[in-house]
Amino acid sequence: MVAVANRHAEPAAETTTPPALRRIGLVPSASLIAGAVIGAVWLWLPIMIVLVGISSIPSVIGFVLALIVFVYLMRGVGWLERRRSEAVFSMNLPVPARKLSHYTGFQRWLHQLWLDISTARFWKGCAHHFLRMVYDLATAGLAFALLAFAFLAPAAAIAVDRSDENAGLSFLSPALAWPLATIAVAAAAAIVVFAPILDAEIDRWLLSRSPAAELQHEVNALADARLGAVTSAHTERHRIERDLHDSVQPRLVSLAMTIGLAQTKLDTDPSAAKTLIAEAHDDAKAALVELRNVVRGIAPTILSDRGLDAALSSVAQRAAVPTTLDIDLHKRLRGEVESVAYFVVAEALTNVAKHAQASRAVVTVRLDQAENKLHVSVFDDGRGGAQITDSETATGLRGLAERVRAARGTFTISSPATGPTIVTAVLPCAS
């Protein structure tokens, strides 16, 4: 049983705006002012967390709790800052790579916390947040001070000029106060309009990868993909050898023995020979079916002929567990991406049928056009505990992880002991 939901939408036409114009205007100015207002209140919260953490170092527990709160707070702030930059300045900044832990459970959470703290990505995000907040506060504060001077200076000059000369008050003359007020208004407006240009440069400087870091990340990704391709090919070869040895080979041996026995009885007992030949015919058909199953694991024809949508629909229809298939694709993808996505779904559903004791499964496939990545997830409501191991007899998930890594994607499993299990793969679709 399979329910399929396909959504194919035409991508919206893109409009291009010169980068310089994206940084001036009503929206960037409003973002600057809003950042200053929020920063005036928000600035003290992370500072207080840091101070509490430092003061709690002797007790250890208080320091650890403050550190955890600070890390999660900065991670959330970093995500919001990137969304703000994309919305305000329309900048599609390359996201620095985040190291992911390969452990599971509590050990994974603890190791991931350490990986986040020990990377330049995290501290650059912290530096960006505080630097931009201080910059917004300083520029907006200066603009506000100039506006306050523009409105108060002429009134003060007139009041002092009309006051009793014996009062001893002195200020700008009205003739000088009015031009200075006009200049102050113009300066405040210029600050509010043009200050976001530096705001955008701060985003570009601290939120994106440096050229050297980007090159190093590319080299590491290629090396990792090469290793994944080698190990994936090794795992796939062992799978084919195992399938041929465990299924097709015994069937062919049985077929040869049956035919040999039929030959010995052909002259003396034609009736028995006829029965044996019929058995051999059944064995031959069964061997063909098993051989097709092995070949299907190498290169499914429907995938190359009709695409990922049709191939996954076929997999879901054959699944032993009722499966809902939710696909949102706008175009055909590269053959490598479609092949990896297909095997992720096929192997994950096979594992669900064999081990999960689930009542239903949900396959979701999404093409993120903004990041040009394919998101594939397989959910089941069965028992959990699925994990990647080094066992020679449990190569399914390990083989999937290697396939995804060879395609320069990321593969994760969320499977607490009580379930549910979610297998996720994110595949880059760029050529």
pLDDT value, residue 8: 45
- Kindly report the average pLDDT of the chain as a whole number: 76
Residue 354 DSSP symbol:
I
Report CA-CA distances (Å) from 100 to 211, 287, 411: 22, 43, 10
Q: Which of 30, 140, 36 is nearest to 89 (CA)?
A: 30
DSSP 71: H
- In this prediction, residue 296 carries a pLDDT of 55
Identify any residues that bridge with 364 across adjacent strands, giving them in sequence order: 326, 377
2 is written with which tokens?
Answer: 């399979």
Give CA separation, 226 vs 220, 283, 340, 407, in Å. 10, 41, 15, 9
Q: What mean pLDDT comes out for the span 48-69?
A: 81
pLDDT at 12: 41
The predicted-structure confidence for 274-296, as pLDDT tens digits, reads as follows 888 888 787 777 777 667 666 55
SS3 422: strand
pLDDT of residue 236: 60
DSSP conformation class of 97: P
Give the pLDDT score at 299: 56
Could you tell me whether strands 421-428 and 361-368 are parallel, antiparallel, or unpaired per DSSP bridges?
unpaired
pLDDT at 3 over 80: no
Return the pLDDT at 15. 41
pLDDT the model gives residue 393: 47
Share of the chain above pLDDT 90, in %: 3
Using CA atoms, how far residue 81 sits from 58, 171, 203, in Å, is: 34, 44, 8
- Structural Rg of the chain based on CA atoms: 33
Among all chains, which residue has been given the structure tokens 């595949």?
Answer: 427
Q: How confident is the model at residue 142, as a pLDDT?
A: 92
Q: How many CA atoms lie within 13 A of 149 on its CB side?
A: 20
User: Percent of the chain beyond pLDDT 70?
Assistant: 74
**pLDDT score for 97:** 64
Contact present, 422 and 378 (Cβ < 8 Å): yes
Strands 361-368 and 323-328: parallel
How many CA atoms lie less than 13 Å away from 106 in the CB half-sphere?
A: 0
φ, ψ for residue 427 (rounded to 5)?
A: -115, 125
**Which of these ranges, 82-96, 178-192, 207-221, 348-362, has the smallest mean pLDDT?**
207-221
Hunting for tokens 């920063």 — which residue is that?
39
